[in-house]
Amino acid sequence: MAKTPEGEVKKKITALLKQRNVYYFMPVQTGYGSTGLDYHCCYRGRAFFIEAKAPGKKPTDRQWDTIVKVRAAGAMAFVVYDAETLAPVEQWLDLVDQETLHVQLARPRQ
């Protein structure tokens, strides 16, 4: 996967997702049906999506449209170019962990 600059970015994303036990799917776009981003993920019941880009590249208009739709539907969408732009993904996962812990602590005993 790491033979291109974008492949290097995907390698870092995949390592983080595996480390955090995130379910993820990387659809193969064939030109049919709806478009998607590079990663479709779920963590502790929260959906999020990631578009990987080589440093200096930008999402296409179609990818931005997908990001807007994902966010409008209530899910998170990230664009990751490097370690600096991967950090917000990790921070968001930390917030989800904190929210989940809060809910577990607040749940009444049965």
Domain spans in the chain, listed from the N-terminal domain onward: 5-28+35-106
Res 1 pLDDT > 60: no
For position 102, what pLDDT does the model report? 67
For the CA atoms of 29, 18, 15, 58, the dihedral, rounded to the nearest 10 degrees, stands at: 40
Compute the distance between CA of residue 25 and CA of residue 108 in angstroms, rounded to an integer.
Answer: 35
Q: In the CATH hierarchy, which fold is given to the domain comprising 5-28+35-106?
A: Trna Endonuclease; Chain: A, domain 1 (3.40.1350)
Strands 39-43 and 76-80: unpaired
Segment 8-37 mean pLDDT: 91
Q: Strands 23-25 and 39-43, how do they pair?
A: antiparallel
pLDDT at 10 over 70: yes
φ, ψ dihedrals at 39, nearest 5° = -125, 130
The predicted pLDDT at position 32 comes to 76
Predicted TM-score (pTM) of the model is 0.87
Pairwise CA distance, residues 41 & 49, whole Å:
6
